[in-house]
Amino acid sequence: MSGGLLVAGTTSDAGKSVVTAGICRWLVRQGVKVAPFKAQNMSLNSFVTRDGAEIGRAQAMQAQACRAEPTALMNPVLLKPGGERSSQVVLLGRPVGEMSARGYHGGRQERLLGTVLDSLAELRATHDAVICEGAGSPAEINLRRTDIVNMGIARGAGLPVLVVGDIDRGGVFASFFGTVALLAPEDQALVAGYLVNKFRGDVSLLEPGLDMLHGLTGRRTYGVLPFRHGLGIDEEDGLRVSLRGTVRESAVAPPVGEDVLRVAVCAVPLMSNFTDVDALAAEPGVVVRFVDRPEELADADLVIVPGTRGTVRALQWLRERGLADAIARRAAERRPVLGICGGFQLLGEHIEDEVESRAGHVDGLGLLPVRVRFAREKTLTRPVGTALGERVEGYEIHHGVARVAGGDPFLDGCRVGQIWGTHWHGSLESDGFRRAFLREVAAAAGRRFVPARDTSFAALREEQLDRLGDLIEHHADTDALWRLIESGAPRGLPFVPPGAPA
C-alpha cells in the first residue's frame, strides 16, 4: 500500500487546500508520484475533467500541483449548495439529485463511505502517495457518526492526520488542543501533530508555546508556515471577507499603457466559479472588485455577471438591488458587460426553469437575443474554439440550454454591441483571447490600457504552486513529514481527555 496523509484543520479556511497543494508540489519535485484526494467537498467552484466529470476546483488545482490529470476519483462526492438547506449531490462526477442537509447527514452520507474508500484505494494502488484534504474541523462532534471526510476516512483508511491551524486568526493553541481533546481515543491515535499556518513575526517567540502544546498533548508541530500574500487560489466555499470592496488577490504590477482597467463583478447569490476572474486579476493594470450596489458600477470599464447556482434568484437579486437597471443603462450607453454561464442566461430574453428554481417562465434582462430552458441533464464539457481571432479553451457546467436567435457569435453564446455572453468558464485563462478581449473593452471604455504581451496565466499558476511547495520545503520538517506519510502516525500517542462525548 502506498503512503498517505490527511490534512485536517482546526476550522474552515485554516489553509487545508493550499497546504495540501504545497505538500503535493513538494513531493512531486522529489520524484514522488502523488495524487490529491478530498472525499467530500462543498463548493460552488467546480471544474470539468477531460472525461466529463465534475469535481471541486480545489482538487483540480491540487492535481496541477501534482502535475497530474484531474479525475473524479480525487473528489468522489461534491456538494453544490442551492440554498440555505439543500445541495446538489455530485457522485463520481455526475449529479444524482438534490438533498437537504438533514437528509444527507441523516443517512445518505454514511452510505457513501464505501464509495469514497474505494476511490481512495484505487488512487493509492497507482500512486506512491495520496495527500487527502479534510473539511471544516474533525472535531465537529455533532457530525462524527456520519463523517466520511475527516476522521471517518482517516480511520477507514488508516491515515495519519496533520492538523492545520491559522494563527493569524488567534487562539491557535486552544484550537489545536481542543481539536484533539474532542476526538474519540481511536481517532486521537491517528492525529500525529500540528502545522501552524500564516505566522507573522519571530518564530522563536512561538516556540515555547509549541513546546507546551507538545507537553500537553504528546504531539509535535511539523512546521510553522509564514504568512504570504497572494496564495488564496481556487477557494472552495466563498470569499473569506465581506464582498463589498473586496479586491481579488493579484500581482502588484503597474499598467503597461497609460490607464488601468476597472472590472466590477456582481456578487450574485450562490455565485459559482468566481475563479473565472483570476486571469483578469493577474493582468498588470487590471483591478477586479466584487460589488453589490449599483453606484459601484459607475466607474467600471467592464461589468461581469458571473456564474450562479441560482439563475432566477440572481436575476431577482439584481432587480431588487437596482443593479439590473444599472446594467441596462450600460447596455444603452454601449459600455461593456460580460455574462458567464448563469450570468449569460439572465442577460437573455426569457428563462423557463422547472429544474433549478422551479419558477417556470421568467423574463430575463432582455439584453441578448437568447431564450433559456433548464434541462434535467447537466451539460459537462470541455469545449475548444476560436473567438476574436484567438484559440480559446473552456469548460461548461450548466443545466440551462440556450437558444441564440441573433447577435454576433461569441463562443457558444453571442454578442450585441458591448454585451457579451457565454457558458464557457475558464475562457479568460487563454492568454491570446484574454488580451484581445481586454483590447476590445479598453477601446469601448475609452481607456488607454494596453495588455501585457507576455502574461501567461498558466505560468503564473505554476509559480504560485511552486511558492506553496517552497513553503513546505523551507518551513516544515520534511524528513519527519515524509516518515509520517510513509509509515503512518507514531505509536503510543497519549490520549487527551475528555475525548468525544458518548
Q: Which residues are catalytic?
A: 341, 425
The partner residues of 422 in beta bridges, in order of sequence, read: 340
**In angstroms, rounded to a whole number, what is the distance separating the alpha carbons of residues 199 and 176?**
15
Could you tell me where the DSSP H helices lie in 446-492?
A: 457-475, 478-487
* Interacting residues of 35 by C-beta distance below 8 A, sequence separation 6+: 63, 66, 68, 73, 74, 123, 126, 127, 129, 130, 131
Secondary structure (DSSP) of 277-329: GHHHHTSTTEEEEEE-SGGGGTT-SEEEE-EES-HHHHHHHHHHHTHHHHHHH
Taking CA atoms, 84 is separated from 81, 184, 277, 379, 498, in Å, by 7, 30, 25, 24, 33
SS (H, E, C) 417-440: CCEEEECCECHHHCHHHHHHHHHH
Burial class of residue 56 in the structure, from the number of CB atoms within 10 Å of its CB (0-12 exposed, 13-18 middle, 19+ buried): buried
SS3 assignment, position 86: strand
**In angstroms, rounded to a whole number, what is the distance separating the alpha carbons of residues 222 and 241?**
29
* Interacting residues of 52 by C-beta distance below 8 A, sequence separation 6+: 93, 380, 381, 382
